[in-house]
Chains A and B, each alone.
Chain A
Amino acid sequence: MNGPTIFTAALVLCMHMVGLAMLLALWRLLRGPTLPDRILALDTLSVTAIAELMLFGMYIDSAIYFEAALVIAMLGFCSTVVLSKFVLRRDIVE
């Protein structure tokens, strides 16, 4: 067991753990009893998607997935804000 082997094994294990977290968030998104639960599950899904993209970028040793992660972060925040505003006021552009 040397350094690169341990790091690659940890990387694969972490990708499985984050994938399991995405599945749990997807379960809450599909089942969620109320509307804010679904918004929260969508927010969690975007955050875990960022982590999974960065882990995959480290796994194939490239930095091109950074832009995708940045776009997902911005769109996830904007979608959370817009959905919460829609629940609050039933009207997005006031």
Chain B
Amino acid sequence: MIAFFQILLAALLLFGCAFILLGALGLVRFSDFFKRLHAPTKASTLGVGCVLVCSVAYHLVLGEDPQPRELLVTVFLFITAPISAHLMAKAALSLMMESRPEVPGERGVSEEE
């Protein structure tokens, strides 16, 4: 039973770390900042959530100090990741106003006028 549980935890760990690595790879490989913003803020957050849940289960079942304290970090990360991504997108928009693509509806409106 313990061995099956450990194999399950190893699978969860590999899943989460694959997502962390994909997020960092997307941070390096994508071409634009607004494309780069997607990879770490979503994929890496999911990966760290998986690793922290795995740590909670590991210390709960196999360790000697069973307290679900890592859930605090998980909840904190899942609350703060969208806020920081929103603020970074606002900062990038304020810096790169001239390289923004045109808003789709505006040309049609000006042609009608």
Q: Which A residues have a C-beta under 8 Å from some C-beta of B?
A: 2-4, 6-7, 9-11, 13-14, 17-18, 20-22, 24-25, 27-28, 34-37, 39-41, 43-44, 47-48, 50-51, 54-55, 57-58, 61, 63, 66, 69-70, 73-74, 77, 80-81, 83-85, 87-88
Q: How many A-B residue pairs have CB under 8 A?
A: 167
**Contact pick for B77, options A3, A50, A66, CB 8 Å:** A50
B interface, by DSSP: helix, strand, loop or mixed? helix
Contact A77 B51 (CB under 8 A): no
Contact B44 A17 (CB under 8 A): no
A45 CB to closest chain B CB (Å) equals 9
Instruction: Taking A28-B28, A54-B73 as given, write out 11 further A-B residue pairs in contact, using a Cβ cutoff of 8 Å, ordered by the A residue number.
Output: A4-B3, A6-B7, A25-B24, A35-B95, A44-B27, A44-B44, A47-B20, A57-B55, A58-B58, A73-B80, A84-B88
Contact A87 B44 (CB under 8 A): no
Counting from the closest, the 8 A-B pairs by CB-CB distance are: A3-B3, A21-B24, A10-B10, A3-B6, A84-B87, A87-B91, A14-B17, A36-B92
Q: Which of B9, B76, B87 has the most CB of A within 10 A?
A: B87
Complexed CA–CA distance, A77 and B85 (Å): 10
Complexed CA–CA distance, A7 and B77 (Å): 25
A interface, by DSSP: helix, strand, loop or mixed? helix
Q: CB of B83 within 8 A of chain A? A: yes
Complexed CA–CA distance, A42 and B104 (Å): 33
Contact B87 A85 (CB under 8 A): yes
Contact A54 B70 (CB under 8 A): yes
A31 CB to closest chain B CB (Å) equals 9
